[in-house]
């Protein structure tokens, strides 16, 4: 029997606000434990939460970007459970009336386009951080992260494979980065993903028993965890066993999922509207204001790159994954109006350096002027493409002017036609036997002459020009 997987994802994105969702404590990462806390975020009796306006604005940006319906009135609810990372013993979240419902994210896997529906987007507060002691039976609690704003994005169970799940996550990450609402760093936990997975006979309309997967903190882990879990569930069904509804944790070292027992009964959250917070009303003017400030989104930008710059789909896709990279590309093209040449350089030389360092282009010393100048030097025959590639890592690392580096390293090509012709004549007169070979039809020997000229100029001659001159002299 053939099976198919049914996957829905719950993604939490940490918002890039300065202050927490319900108090003025800083959201900055890396402070010593409990240095960014106050009576509100630690849940002291008598304290009163007040909503950060920017959280609503960020949620509206995302809702508009994915075409979700924005609820005219939304409310906060208390979600109750006991855990030491939750000082109030409830998390302020949204339940009945979230800020937005519906919408979709478009993905592409192996050239197949697909739309993954969204159930809802809601605002909530993050919990604290627990550190477990290696030796003693204690855990340390740090509430700095408590109250950092999150958006939870819940997808429909429209995803059918681990590859689609990763494509969905990558697309969502690209969108939140474009919108400037989340840095999308999975390893650092600013974008987190849980998955609901079940399997069923292919073609069936019924859902199988679902398992919730947690603890997948990179795209690769998501893919591995889902692959393992799907295989595990299919194995159970083939043996005539049942899948148990439960929460499982991914063990990245072993590449398997383990049952996380004991949390089952805790799924009785007793939600009710939070009396400390008044409803949020979102009028059409507010929505229009946010809409008018939205940046061009990844899909639109990709399409424009294809049409406006005549780039292949592949190039447009890669260049628009990151908004700073896309903007960098456009700046380069303004200075050096040959889009495909700029694209080639960015996708090879530049991305190699960026990937090596794990940086965005706007975090480096590289400026569009550098790329434009380098490409112009190649275009004008001042340096060979090989020499340009050779000096690029130094331009990238130091932000130094490429022209200066070319001079300093003596990489300038000899492109003076008169000087090169003299050398070519010299080479020909020194090698009469080879000249005879050429004249008798062995045209391939021209490579030998070019080589000799390069040798005499210690590699600095412009090979294209040398070739032209030699051909002219030999054919004369």
Which residue among 51, 287, 347, 435 contacts other proteins (CB under 8 A)? 51
Beta partners for 10?
A: 154, 194
How far is 127 from 109, CA to CA, in rounded Å? Answer: 34
**125 in helix, strand or coil?**
strand
The minimum distance between CB 184 and other proteins, in angstroms, equals 20
C-beta closer to other proteins: residue 26 or 467? 26
Report if residue 180 touches other proteins, rule: CB under 8 A.
no
C-beta closer to other proteins: residue 137 or 432? 137
C-beta closer to other proteins: residue 277 or 446? 277
Report if residue 270 touches other proteins, rule: CB under 8 A.
yes
How far is 376 from 372, CA to CA, in rounded Å? Answer: 6
The minimum distance between CB 262 and other proteins, in angstroms, equals 10
The minimum distance between CB 62 and other proteins, in angstroms, equals 16
Which residue among 3, 4, 29, 54 contacts other proteins (CB under 8 A)? 54
Report if residue 275 touches other proteins, rule: CB under 8 A.
yes
Beta partners for 365?
A: none
Pairing of the two strands 247-251 and 211-214: parallel
Which residue among 69, 115, 139, 238 contacts other proteins (CB under 8 A)? 139
21-40 positions binding other proteins, by CB under 8 A: 23-26, 32-39
Report if residue 257 touches other proteins, rule: CB under 8 A.
no
The minimum distance between CB 85 and other proteins, in angstroms, equals 9
Tokens of 137: 């039976």
Which residue among 53, 359, 442, 443 contacts other proteins (CB under 8 A)? 53
Which residue among 280, 311, 332, 378 contacts other proteins (CB under 8 A)? 280
Q: Of 186-194, 278-286, 337-345, 367-375, which part binds other proteins (CB under 8 A)?
A: 278-286
DSSP secondary structure code for residue 265 in this structure: G
Long-range own/partner contacts, residues 362-370 (CB < 8 A, 24 or more apart): 362/324, 362/328, 364/396, 364/399, 365/396, 365/397, 365/398, 365/399, 366/328, 366/395, 366/396, 366/399, 367/399, 368/328, 368/331, 368/332, 368/334, 368/335, 369/335, 370/395, 370/399, 370/401, 370/402
Furthest C-alpha separation in the chain: 101
Report if residue 82 touches other proteins, rule: CB under 8 A.
yes
**111 in helix, strand or coil?**
coil
Which residue among 138, 253, 433, 476 contacts other proteins (CB under 8 A)? 138
The minimum distance between CB 355 and other proteins, in angstroms, equals 33
Report if residue 130 touches other proteins, rule: CB under 8 A.
yes
Report if residue 253 touches other proteins, rule: CB under 8 A.
no
Task: Find the length of the chain.
Answer: 476
How far is 403 from 304, CA to CA, in rounded Å? Answer: 32
Which residue among 3, 4, 75, 376 contacts other proteins (CB under 8 A)? 75
**160 in helix, strand or coil?**
coil
The minimum distance between CB 77 and other proteins, in angstroms, equals 9
Q: Of 274-282, 347-355, 369-377, 397-405, which part binds other proteins (CB under 8 A)?
A: 274-282
Report if residue 300 touches other proteins, rule: CB under 8 A.
no
Q: What are phi and psi of 341, to 5 degrees?
A: -65, -40
The count of residues interacting with other proteins (CB under 8 A) is 50
Phi-psi region of 33 (alpha: psi -120 to 50; beta: other; left: phi over 0): beta
C-beta closer to other proteins: residue 35 or 220? 35
Give the residue from 352, 309, 302 showing the smallest Cα distance to 332. 309
DSSP secondary structure code for residue 243 in this structure: P
**257 in helix, strand or coil?**
strand
Report if residue 46 touches other proteins, rule: CB under 8 A.
no
C-beta closer to other proteins: residue 126 or 373? 126
Report if residue 273 touches other proteins, rule: CB under 8 A.
yes
The minimum distance between CB 71 and other proteins, in angstroms, equals 12
Burial 172-198 (b: 16+ CB within 10 A, else e): bbbbbbbbebbbbebeeebbbbbbbbb
Report if residue 233 touches other proteins, rule: CB under 8 A.
no
The minimum distance between CB 46 and other proteins, in angstroms, equals 13
C-beta closer to other proteins: residue 142 or 315? 142
The minimum distance between CB 119 and other proteins, in angstroms, equals 20
C-beta closer to other proteins: residue 33 or 463? 33
What does the radius of gyration of the chain's CA atoms come to, in whole angstroms?
Answer: 30
The H or E element containing residue 472 is helix 463-475
By CB under 8 A, name the binding residues for other proteins.
Answer: 17-19, 23-26, 32-39, 42, 50-56, 73, 75, 80, 82-84, 97, 130-133, 136-143, 268, 270, 273, 275, 278-281
């Amino acid at each position: 029997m053939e099976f198919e997987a049914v996957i829905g994802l719950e993604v939490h994105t940490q918002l890039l606000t300065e202050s927490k969702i319900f108090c003025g404590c800083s959201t900055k990462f890396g402070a010593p434990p409990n240095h960014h806390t106050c009576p509100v975020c630690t849940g002291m009796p008598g304290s009163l939460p007040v909503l950060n306006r920017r959280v609503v604005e960020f949620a509206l940006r995302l809702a508009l970007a994915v075409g979700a319906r924005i609820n005219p009135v939304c409310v906060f609810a208390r979600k109750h459970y006991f855990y030491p990372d939750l000082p109030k013993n409830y998390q302020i979240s949204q339940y009945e009336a979230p800020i937005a419902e519906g919408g979709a994210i478009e993905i592409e896997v192996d050239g197949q386009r697909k739309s993954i529906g969204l159930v809802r987007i809601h605002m909530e507060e993050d919990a604290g951080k627990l550190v477990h002691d290696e030796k003693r039976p204690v855990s340390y609690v740090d509430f700095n992260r408590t109250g950092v704003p999150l958006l939870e994005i819940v997808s429909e169970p429209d995803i059918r494979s681990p590859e689609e799940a990763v494509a969905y996550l990558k697309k969502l990450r690209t969108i939140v980065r474009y919108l400037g609402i989340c840095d999308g760093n999975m390893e650092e936990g600013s974008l987190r993903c849980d998955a609901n997975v079940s399997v069923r006979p292919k073609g069936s309309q019924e859902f199988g028993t679902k398992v919730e997967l947690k603890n997948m903190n990179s795209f690769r882990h998501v893919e591995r965890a889902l692959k393992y879990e799907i295989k595990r569930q299919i194995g159970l069904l083939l043996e005539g066993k049942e899948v148990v509804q439960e929460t499982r944790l991914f063990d990245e070292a072993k590449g398997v999922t383990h049952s996380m027992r004991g949390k089952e009964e805790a799924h009785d959250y007793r939600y009710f509207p939070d009396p400390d917070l008044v409803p949020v009303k979102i009028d059409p003017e507010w929505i229009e204001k946010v809409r008018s400030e939205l940046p061009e989104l990844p899909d639109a930008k990709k399409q424009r790159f294809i049409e406006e710059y005549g780039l292949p789909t592949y190039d447009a896709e890669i260049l628009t994954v990151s908004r700073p990279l896309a903007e960098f590309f456009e700046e380069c093209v303004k200075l050096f109006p040959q889009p495909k040449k700029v694209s080639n350089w960015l996708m090879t030389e530049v991305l190699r350096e960026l990937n090596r360092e794990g940086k965005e282009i706007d975090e480096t010393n590289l400026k569009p002027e550098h790329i434009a100048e380098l490409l112009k030097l190649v275009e004008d025959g001042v340096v060979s493409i090989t020499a340009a590639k050779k000096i690029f890592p130094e331009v990238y690392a130091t932000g130094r002017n490429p022209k200066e580096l070319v001079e300093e390293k003596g990489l300038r090509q000899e492109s003076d036609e008169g000087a090169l012709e003299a050398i070519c004549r010299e080479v020909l007169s020194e090698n009469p036997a080879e000249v005879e070979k050429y004249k008798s039809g062995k045209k391939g020997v021209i490579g030998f002459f070019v080589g000799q000229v390069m040798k005499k100029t210690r590699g600095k001659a412009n090979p294209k020009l040398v070739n032209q001159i030699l051909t002219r002299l030999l054919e004369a």
